[in-house]
Each structure stands twice: as C-alpha cells, then as structure tokens.
Amino acid sequence: MLKIRDQKKALVRGFRPVAVLVSFLLLAGACGSDEPAAAPEEAAEKIDIWVVGSIQVGGTFWDQIEAGAKAAGEMIADAEVTYIAPEEYSYPNIDAMIQTAVAANPDAVLVDYRSSDFEGTVVGALNQGIEVQFFNNFVGTDSADPRIRRLSATAVGLDKAAASKRSANLYTEFVSPGDSLVLFNSLPDSSEHLEIQNAYVEVFLDAGWSEDDLDIVDLPGLDPAPNFEAIKTYLAAYPDVDGIVTWDTSSGTPAAQAKADIGSSVPLVMWNLDQTVISGVKDGTVQLSLTQQPFLQTYYAVVSAYLKVKYGLIDPAVIDPGTLIVNADNVDEVEGLFNAGYVG
C-alpha cells in the first residue's frame, strides 16, 4: 500500500489573446452595410464582470490570475472587471466572496469552482440572471443542475490530470523505476490536489514503480514556512530518498530551499514559478517546473463571460491554456515572460 504520512500530526512526520475574435464580433455590425454610419451616441453602459479568486496573496500564480482578468477588462472597451478574493484560503471563505460578487448583481461572475460547496451560491446567481463562467477548477459534472454541468463542460482552465501526467513522464528522465520517491501534497483535502497526486501515482505505477516506492506526505497547508520545516525534517529523516515531487510553489519552493540547505542533489519536479524556482532551474536545484499560465486562464475566461453577456452565446469556446514545462533549455526565455508578468 502507498505510505501516507500526515505532517499535520507529526513534524517528523505563446500568447496571442483573443482580441482578434472580440474585435471581429464588435465590428461585425458595422461591416457589409450600405447604410450611412450612425451618429455618435453616448457610451453604452459597461458590462460588469466580477472575478472571484481563491486567495488574496502575494504569490505569483494568484497575482497573474488577477492581472489576466484586468488585462482582458482593459482590452474590451465596454467591460468593467472587478477582482476579489479572500485573505485566507478555505471553501467557506471563497463561497463568501462569490456571495459578495452575486450581491453586487453584476452581468457576469467568474468562479474558481473547486467544490459542490459553491453550488448553492452559483445556482442562486444563475437564478438571478447573472451569467457565470468557470475557470481554473470546474468540478460539477455530477450536479443535479444541468446548468452547473454545462458550465463544467465549457470552462476555461487546465486539465490538471493531463498536465500532471505530462510532467510525470518528463520527470522519469531523471529517476528510474524502483527509486524511492516522495510526493508532498500541501492541500490533501482538496479535490484538485488529490487529482494531481493520483495522476502522478498512476504514471509512476505504470512506468514500473511499486506502491512501496512511493511515499505520500501531507503538508500543513499553503504557508511555505511550516512546509519548509516539514520538508527539511523529512529529508533529514529519509536521506536515501531518490526523487521529490510537488505541484505548487507552496511546497515546491520550500523543497528547493530545503535541498539547498542540506546540499541535496535529489531531482525535484514542481508546478508554478517564482524567482527561487527560476534560480533553481538555472543552478540544477529544480529539474522541471510546470506553469499553468494563470494570466491566460482569467484573460480568456473574462472574454468568454463577455461574449455570453454581449451576444447571448451559450457555449463560448472551451479553452485549455495549456502547460509550459520550464527546464534548463528554456528558463532564460521564460524568465523574461515571468518578469513581464505573463507566466507564473
């Protein structure tokens, strides 16, 4: 059986936006007509779109989620985008933010639909006549409400399992079947993180690892400081580990720092970017990182919500912003995009 250690209980223990599409739709009514141009009118009331993030932190991922949403709002002349998120991550806090957005009675709300805990609020928004667009996470295919199921099928967001499998397959170039691997999960109670974890495990088992080779360790949460202590303690207790797998900067960055502190050369794969990760890829502390391109997630999601409101579209294009694997070959180029605020 896979070994599960709960660190809570023991401490040893390329981008071309869709501006062309939107511009075409905005101009469509002005083309192909022999009628003289209408006289200028007062500016139409702006379409009000609220975007609800999952946590208000200084981390690059959520900074870019916010930046992508606002960039789309600036690009669309008759859209007004408001971004809100809770200071502390929890399902009740996120749902409270969605309720705040719905109470403002905007034209559309973007929801990081992580759990059926959000279903009642989203159904209320739909009943109120507010358009809803899912992004980033979009569970809900088992909902009793067909509108929730439809939103889950037409979301803007990364296929987390597919991205995990791509990352895992690339990581097998640095480790071999039978090597001892540790998987650090900073949100073990999250369906998103469990999906990612299971996808990694599936690839490793299919590639020849046994369950006894894989150690799954639950970390305290999203705070990098206690995660650093937990990971450093683990690596000291298990010096023979051959590989480290994480999928967030809340665990990956502390793992890179812990490796550096103890002088470890164990191969590390992770998700997302910050300056520590970029430096780690350059000096070999981090072998691979995967960026989910969060800027694009909300950029495209705002455009999709706008098209629903403006033109009454039911199903805008389903968009997966794709994965960018960052390694020693492309890290310098990626660093330029990171510094410009487009990947993270």
Average pLDDT, the chain: 88
Q: Which residues contact 199 (CB under 8 A, 6 or more apart)?
A: 160, 161, 162, 164, 165, 168
pLDDT computed for residue 282 by the predictor: 96
pLDDT range class, residue 4, cuts 50, 70, 90: low
- Closest alpha carbon to 343 in 71, 15, 113: 15
Return d(Cα 114, Cα 289) in angstroms, integer.
Answer: 23
Poorest-pLDDT segment among 128-132, 222-226, 241-245, 316-320: 316-320
Band (342; pLDDT cuts 50, 70, 90)? confident
Express each pLDDT in 172-193 by its tens digit.
Answer: 999 999 999 999 999 999 989 9
Q: Is the pLDDT of residue 33 over 90?
A: no
Count Cβ atoms below 10 Å from residue 167 Cβ, excluding itself: 23
User: Does the pLDDT value for residue 110 go beyond 60?
Assistant: yes
Residue 120 binned pLDDT confidence (cut-offs 50, 70, 90):
very high
Q: Which two tokens stand for residue 279?
A: 């430096």
Structure tokens at 153: 């099928």
Q: Which of 172, 173, 163 is nearest to 195 (CA)?
A: 163
- The mean pLDDT of 310-338, rounded to a whole number, is 92
Neighbours of 19 (CB within 10 A): 13
